[in-house]
Every structure is written in C-alpha cells, then in structure tokens.
Chains A and B, each alone.
Chain A
Amino acid sequence: MEISRNPDTPEVRKPFGARFKKGFREYRVAYLFILPTFLFMMLVHVLPMIQGIVMSFLKLNQFTLSQYLKAPFIGLKNYSELLFNENNPVRQGLGYALRNTAIYSVVVTISVMIIGLLVAILLNRDFPGRGIARAAMLLPWVVPSYVVGVLWGFMWQKEGIINYILVDILHLMSDKPFWLIGQNTIWAIIIPTVWRSWPFIMIVFLAGLQTIPDDLYEAAKIDGAGRLRQFFTITLPMLKPIIAVQLLFQIINNVYSYNIVAMMFGNGSGYPGKWGDLLMTALTRQTFGYWSFGVGAAASFLLMGAMLIIVGIWYRIFRSELRVD
C-alpha cells in the first residue's frame, strides 16, 4: 500500500487554458468518445433540471398549466411562500417529513453499513456452501421495492406475522402494538428498507475485502496483532474509499426514498401519517395533490441544494480517498 502522497513536491501547475489546450490535443479521441454520453446527459438530465428550475419561478397551477413554461413569471414568490407562508398548502406537514427523513436516512445508512460490513467479513472466509450463502443473502435486494412495501405492509399488521412472532412466540411484549399507524410507523419503514438494502452493501464490501492482499494480514499476525487490531488498522483503512462511495449512495438513496412508504400506506393514495411521511412522498403529494407545480418545483430545487451541500461536505471529508491519479 502506498502511504506517501508526497506533499513535498507540489506540482507546477500551468494556467488552465494552456492545460486544457494541451489536454485536448492529447486526448482528442477520448473527447470524441465522451461526446455522445455528454449530449445524452444534457438531454435527459441537464435540460429537465433547468426546466424544473425555470418552473420554480413561475405561477404554475392547474389554471396556468396549459401555458406551461409561458406561465406568469413571479420571481422568488414560490420560494418565499414555501419558506415564510405558514398557510401555504404545500408546506403543511413538510416539517414532519423533514424530521422523519433525517431519522430514516441516518438510521438506515448506519445500520446497512454496519450489517453489510459484518456479514461481508463473515462471508469472506472460505467455508463450504459460501456461494449459496452469498446468493441467498442477495435475495432481499432482488425484490422490487414496491413489492417490499406491499409485503411488509401485510407483515406489520396488528394481527400480522411480526406481532405474532414478537408477542405470541417470543413474548417480548404483552400487547400487540400498531405498526402502520402512530409513532411506530417510523420503524415500519426503516426496517424493510434496511432489510432490502444491506445485501447490496455487503456484496460491494465483499468485493472490496477481496482486493486487500493477504500479506498484510500475515505481516500483522507475525507482529502480534489480534483480530480486532487487524480490523481497525488494516481492513477499515483499506476499505475507506469503498465506505466513502457507499455512504454517499446510501445518503442519496435514503433521502430520496419513496417506493416502500408509498406502497405501504394506501398505494400512494393514503397519508403515511406524522411518523411515516418522508420528504419525497410529502413533496409528491403536496405538489401533485394540490396542483401547486411551481411551489413544488421550488421545494425540489431547495432539496437539491441541500443535497449538494451534503455531497460537498462528504467530498471534503473523503477527498483524499477518492483521488484517482
């Protein structure tokens, strides 16, 4: 492993223009290959995004929808409505959704990372039936999240299998609690998400573990390092880039989570409640349910900004791990 990143010899950087010119000449073919992707990205990603931003400055509701992007321009009114007008319908309940999304994202992300890593370490040893075990553990990940929502919606019922196991078999509680209404809903959405997400995290960690050379562990053993010490000084540091990438995707995935919640509470037509609503389900309902497309676009854009800040912080923390040189 290469530890020195040699801070003593700073690169002599040429001005950007000159570097670009030289780079362009050198990699002309590469740019050509990138071009179709670039154009496609513009078409499917950047243009709709710009359109969304434009929409957030328009008075866009069911009466002006037919004018679409020619709807009246109202500047920052949608943003001020969203941030300062407590009576705006789109705003109602967004506070709960924000709180739930924060709890949900943090708990799910941390849980799947820990479970994924532990199981990956277990499966990294050689034992008979390892292939089957890996395949079996991937099963939850193969289930579409819509189906996860419907299935767990059945399991969480008061007379459902989960309460049956918890109360009738294990006697962990005296009464059968509600899971799909009231405060417990937050667990009813966190647990299925963890159940579905960890296998994929595990597989990626497993791939990462296999790139760590065995010599490192052997050397550590000779030096007298125990298993725990090996984990903290070899495994964890070597996995850091993978942890960084997984963390980012988990945060993005969980903040933008929608399917499981939508399906569990009335197939998208119900209200998940104060403890079950997430930002995406709330924004979808409040925007399309109230036909306030402009305010909804503004809210989405604000959320995107918040996400960019999170990604920025993430990048600052893990910058050194992600340099590909």
Chain B
Amino acid sequence: MSKKRISLVLLTIIVMMSMILSACGGSKGSSSSGNQTDKNANNSTTGAPQEEVTLTAWIMPNSPKPDKDFMTAMKPYLDQNPNVKLNVTVLDWGSAWTKITTAATSGQGPDILQLGTTWVPAIAAMNGIEDLTDRVEELGGQANYLPASWKTTMIDGSSEVYGVPWFVDARALFYRKDALDKAGLDPATAFKDWDTFKQTLSKLNGIEIEDQKMTAFGVPGKNDWNVPHNIFPWIWAAGGSVFNEDNTKVTFNDQTALEGVMYYTGLANEGLVEKASLEKNSSQIESDFSDGKTAVMVSGAWMIKNFATPEEDGGVGGKTAAQNYGVAALPAGPAGPSTFIGGSHLTIFKGSKHKEAAWDIIKYLSSDEAQLTYSQLSGQLPGKRSVMESLASDPNYKALVEATNYGMSYPSIPQWGPCETALVKYFGNIWDIVAGVSGTYNEASIQKQLDDAANEVSAILNQ
C-alpha cells in the first residue's frame, strides 16, 4: 500500500510541476543598451539635453525586428547626442493595453510611448499622457499631417493634442495586372465605383493565370483582427457614419450604413468571394493573393514592402504576383471614395521625469530623415504628409498615398475600445450569416445584427 501512496504523491508533484511550467509565461524585461558613451555633449542639436540622460521607449512590434529597427532609426540621433541613452521595450498588442493602463495608474512607465490611434483618447482621459498642444507647433502642427490621422491625436470636441502621428495605416485595393489584362480591363476605370467594381470582379472570377484558377476577391471573415476596419470603409463610402456629428447617437445601423454592409457582404454572397476565405484572417488572405489564388484584395503599405523583399528575407518577392500587382483606391460608393486610416502616435508618458528629452526624441522621429527610415523598416506609411508624398515616385505607393486623401478614422472618444469590442462580435455574426452557417442572408437579418450592435454600443456610450 505505501508504495502506491508514495507513487500517488510523486505523481501529484509531477502534475503540479508540469502545470506550473506550462503556466509560466515569459515576461520580457526591458533590455538595456550596453554601450557606454562619452561625456562630450557639445555637438547636440538645439533643445537636446546636455546632461546624461537615459530614456525608455515602449513600442509595439511594428516590424519583424521591432527593437533593432527602432534603434536603427534612432542611431543618427544617438550618435549625435552621446549623452542620451535609449532603452526600448517592445510590448505585444495582446498585453499592451494592460501594461499601459497599469503604467498610467502607477505613474511608473516609459518616457516615450507608442499608442494606437484609437487608444490615445482613452489614455489621455485617464490622464496618462502629456498634453502636447503647445509643443506640436514646432512640428508644423495639423498642416503637416493627414486630417483623418490628426483628428485621432485629440479627443473629439476638445482642442488639446496628445500625440504626434508616427506612422499611418491606410488600406487600398491590390490587384493582379495580368489578370486584368487577360480580362481586357483597364485598371484606370475598373475600380472607379461600386458598379464597375462589381463588373470587374465578375469578369475576373474564375480567370486562369499560369494554369491556376483565380477567385475574384479575397476577403477575411470573422476570425480576424481587422473585422471593423474591413467593413467600415464600405459603410463610409455608402454615406453612413459610426456616430452622429457630436457622438451622441449611434448611426452605423441606419439605411445608408446597411447599404454599405450589404454591398460588401453581397460580393461574397454572389460568389465573387470564395466562401472559404470567410474563415481566414488578413495574413492568410494576403498569402492567397501572393500565391495567385485571388485577383484582388484590400491591404496596406506592408504588402508593397513584402512584394519588394526577396523570399530569403521573409518577403514574397519571388512570386508571380510580385511582378504583376498594382494598387488602386477602394471604389467610390454612392457618397464617394473612402478608406480606413489607423496607425500609431508618439506620446509622452505623464510620469516621465525627462519630458524635454522625450520631446526632443519625438521631434527627431518626426523629422523627414527618421520618418523615411522608419517607414521603410516598418512597412507602414510615414505619418508626415510631405514624406508620405515623397514616396509617390513609386506608382504603387502613389495609389496608396492618393487613397489616404479619402481616409476616415473612427470617432476619437475615450470609450472607443469597448465599442470596437462590441462591433467585432456583431460583425462576426454578420460574417457567419454570409457564410451560410447561421440563419439566412437578407437585409432583415443583417439589419438585426447592426441593431443589436447599436444597442450595445449605445449602452457603452451612455455608461
């Protein structure tokens, strides 16, 4: 008997240990840059700190090697200001919110903080980041940035500015030129408005390139991290909006918005989008396009970078699609063209003890040189408009940059995060209906999901 008991005890210990081990998530500590620097601070730019100072920056994984790439962009500044040391910590999007709010709560955090555009109002309302209104004039202020991007540095209805646009996430159509050629279509007119877009897709559907049959349009469904960003451009193009002018009433369930949702989801219902794509996420849709399975998709600047990067370096440069793709703005709806504008802003953490030095670094990251370097490393569009427009010598970037002119962003309100969580859920249900696994697809069933979403979002707004 005792033998059995002992083995039981041992077993329990093993099981417990394994549970502890499996539950052990690695928490990444901030890596400190080891290089000791000299004390000669005589060649610094104006406004740069003269004394020894060590700053911490929290950024997101914006590129495959986020910390290295960030330091590459910062190198010229750090070389010129040897008294400034910079530690960079890369958060991940999943846990970033918790870490940032904890930091805002305790006052213990970084000096420079990257925030997603929709997070700025929330953290600002929490009093977690500095008011930069008096400083942004040094960078030229509003005039130097995209209106849709600049709007998100403030809280709707007030004039304080809390961030500087660092880079911009904008979406456009990516299409296969060879497929359009074969169908006898002209890219200049094929994507003009909703009607021509649908005709184009019907002609492209089933076309064969290199013995591979293509589906017209690749669209991710509900298992994605972009669900609302994929749908709202079509609502905006139909003339719909998220809320009314002063953000007091939900309007994304009105008749015009429904029209937008019906047009976009209708493409899938009419067979122009393969239903199988509706359980994929954005990166799977992007690989379908680069593998030649689809002729058109919606994506952003990072795909231009991927197509230019050889396969040895993790890109898709060798594929047929890389030599044969073009970029166009999303087709204009009844209310004109539109696209989604997101991205990230640079902010100064309220608890920072080196605000001047942090601002100097933000100023550097907003300079033409750093904006260009970092956008090339991260595959995002630069936040500064003049730098963005300088990319337009490349025809693909040109189309994308033009598309940003029609860009819209979400309402800049502190409660946007919860609103988006609710939208993800109900838009997910809509994709279920479109895929034919839950209820029948018609205006009434989609309207019901939008109404349910509107109820929940209204409850959040009125909290």
Contact = CB atoms under 8 A, between A and B. Distances in A.
Contact of B425 (A92, A158, A178, A249): A92
A181 interface: yes
Most chain A CB atoms below 10 A, which of B8, B22, B126, B278: B8
A181 B432 contact: yes
Give the most central of A1, A178, A266: most B CB within 10 Å. Answer: A266
B7 A270 contact: no
B8 A2 contact: no
B11 A207 contact: yes
Interface in A279-298: 285-286, 288-292
B280 A157 contact: yes
B418 A182 contact: no
A89 B222 contact: no
Interface residues of A, number: 57
Contact of B418 (A179, A180, A183, A290): A290
Contacts of A93: 425
Given A1-B1, A181-B279, A66 B105 contact: yes
Interface string A258-294: 0000001111111101100000000001101111100
Contact of A270 (B5, B22, B225, B276): B225
Interface string A155-193: 011110000000000000000101111111000000000
A80 interface: no
A63 B125 contact: yes
Given A89-B418, A159-B276, A178 B437 contact: yes
A178 to B, nearest CB: 5
B125 A62 contact: yes
B9 A324 contact: yes
Contacts, number: 150
A269 B418 contact: no
B102 to A, nearest CB: 9
A52 interface: no
A290 B222 CA distance: 19
A289 B418 CA distance: 5
9 contacts: A62-B125, A63-B414, A179-B279, A181-B431, A183-B437, A184-B437, A269-B224, A290-B421, A290-B422
Interface of B: 1, 3-5, 7-9, 11-12, 14-15, 18-19, 22, 93-94, 97-98, 101, 104-105, 122, 125-128, 221-225, 227, 275-276, 278-281, 284, 414-415, 417-418, 420-422, 424-425, 428-429, 431-432, 435, 437-438, 455-456, 459-460, 463
Interface of A: 1-2, 61-63, 65-66, 68, 87-89, 92-93, 145, 153, 156-159, 176, 178-184, 200, 204, 207-208, 211, 238, 241-242, 245-246, 249, 253, 264-271, 273-274, 285-286, 288-292, 324
